[in-house]
Amino acid sequence: MNIHALLQWRYRHRVDPRVIILGLGVTLGIILITLNYLQPVIIRLLPNAILLGLFIGSIYALVALGYTMVYGILKFINFAHGEVFMWGGYFVYTFSVLGGVNFFIGCFVAVMLTTLMGILIERIGYRPLRRAPRLAPLITAIGFSLFLQSLAVYCFKADYRSISAPIGGVDAISSPVRLTLPSAPILSGIGIGVFALCYVFLHLRKRKNPERKPSTMVENLILLFLVLFSIFFVLSILNTPAADPASIFRSSVLLSIQLIDGIFLVTAVIVMIILHLIVKYTTLGKAMRAVSDDMDSASAVGIDVDRVIASTFALGSLVAGIGGILFGLKYCIYPYMGFLPGLKAFAAAVVGGIGNIYGAMIGGLIIGMAEQVGPVGLDMAGISGTPYQDAIVFIVLIIFLIIKPSGVMGKEHLVMSRGK
């Protein structure tokens, strides 16, 4: 059966999204419970992989923001964005590790420099080509990407370097923060309770004031979490030793998170909120949305299009610089780090819906999860999954391009080849 026919059928018959969520939840639950019997050891890796996916995903989301903002306005992929991300790490390395400047001042200068880099790339490479055929800026972007990458290879050699030395080395930032929580069934029970209350509250409010339009998105999200927590609850109940059911109340979950991972998530969320405020409430944000909709009309009503585009590049590069520093703190910096992570970030932008900054966050999380959870899935199937991490991300991208090329939150007309 053709997948497009299937999609058309779904659009014609308008299946309730709640039915889809419940159906997916039940399927996922059955799969997980079966696996729990077959591979009880490996499934213990799953919560850890999900957490790691969340953290890595927030880095991809930060980089994806730059891709998606530029795509939203200029409608082309800025391949050099991954390299700006990489140079964020290298600037900190130059100033703080080699130059001995205070780490936080070094970070600040590095982020300023990546911002400048983004503006310069736009000014030199893309502005002369604004009216050129579509292929031209893409080729220039590849040129810039290569230029920045080989410049890093030339200056610093193709070695792995650490940038965490000025703040006490890797041990200081990756020191685990331990949290002792009540046991898994109680935790998921609390989760179910909270979300069920939310759901009931939403419906009560809807009944009280029928004029008010219910937000189906929030309702669906609540339902999704409810389903996920229920699966978790059933699984944890199944895993408690049958001989000693009272251990539910005595035992506890020891959650250990590295400090840097927490910083990833918090930074990503803060950046998202700030960007949301900028795009929604400032004059610049308004101008950006206008230019994104129709560049010529925006210029006709007096918006300085060149300035708006330069600011978009500046914002995207700033965020990419922050992402590069965080990535360098967790792993290492190396000249090719802009390439595969950059590609994955772009995949995140596509999956989330290109041109949409909230989509970038969702896409980042999906790609991060796929990268971390996918190998665990392969392990359960008996294949060593870690070498195939990158391929899994790529397959997720291809699947999205087949099923829903506009991504989770994107617009259809931005994607199809005819909408030139």
- The contact set with another protein (CB under 8 A) reads 71, 76-77, 124-125, 128-129, 132, 134-136, 138-140, 142-144, 146-147, 149-151, 153-154, 157, 336, 339-340, 343, 346-347, 350, 387-388, 390-391, 394, 397-398, 401-402, 405, 414-420
Q: Which residues pair with 333 in a beta bridge?
A: 161
Rounded Cα distance, 164 and 328, in Å: 8
Pick from 407, 393, 340: nearest CA to 82: 340
- 319 and 275 in contact (C-beta within 8 Å)? yes
In the bound complex, what is the minimum distance in angstroms from residue 147's beta carbon to another protein?
4
Rounded Cα distance, 49 and 375, in Å: 9
In the bound complex, what is the minimum distance in angstroms from residue 127's beta carbon to another protein?
10
- 96 and 166 in contact (C-beta within 8 Å)? yes
In the bound complex, what is the minimum distance in angstroms from residue 393's beta carbon to another protein?
8
In the bound complex, what is the minimum distance in angstroms from residue 344's beta carbon to another protein?
9
Rounded Cα distance, 151 and 230, in Å: 52
State the CB neighbour count (10 A cutoff) for residue 239.
Answer: 13
Token pair for 324? 């590069």
Secondary element (H or E) of residue 410: none
Unique residue bearing structure tokens 């900028």: 278
Rounded Cα distance, 273 and 361, in Å: 11
- Name which of 93 and 400 has its Cβ closer to another protein: 400
In the bound complex, what is the minimum distance in angstroms from residue 4's beta carbon to another protein?
10
Looking at residue 333, the DSSP 8-state letter turns out to be B
Rounded Cα distance, 189 and 232, in Å: 9
- Name which of 331 and 388 has its Cβ closer to another protein: 388
- Name which of 26 and 391 has its Cβ closer to another protein: 391
- Name which of 51 and 119 has its Cβ closer to another protein: 119
Alpha carbon 368 to its chain centroid, in Å, reads 7
Token pair for 232? 């978790």
Residue type, position 99, single letter: G
In the bound complex, what is the minimum distance in angstroms from residue 191's beta carbon to another protein?
36
Assign 285 to helix, strand or coil: helix
- Name which of 144 and 195 has its Cβ closer to another protein: 144
Angle, vertex CA 65, rays to CA 62 and CA 67, nearest 5: 120
In the bound complex, what is the minimum distance in angstroms from residue 340's beta carbon to another protein?
7
- Name which of 77 and 107 has its Cβ closer to another protein: 77
In the bound complex, what is the minimum distance in angstroms from residue 214's beta carbon to another protein?
34
381-398: b (≥16 Cβ within 10 Å) or e:
eeeebeeebeebbeebbe
- Name which of 269 and 398 has its Cβ closer to another protein: 398
- Name which of 279 and 397 has its Cβ closer to another protein: 397
In the bound complex, what is the minimum distance in angstroms from residue 125's beta carbon to another protein?
6
- Name which of 140 and 164 has its Cβ closer to another protein: 140
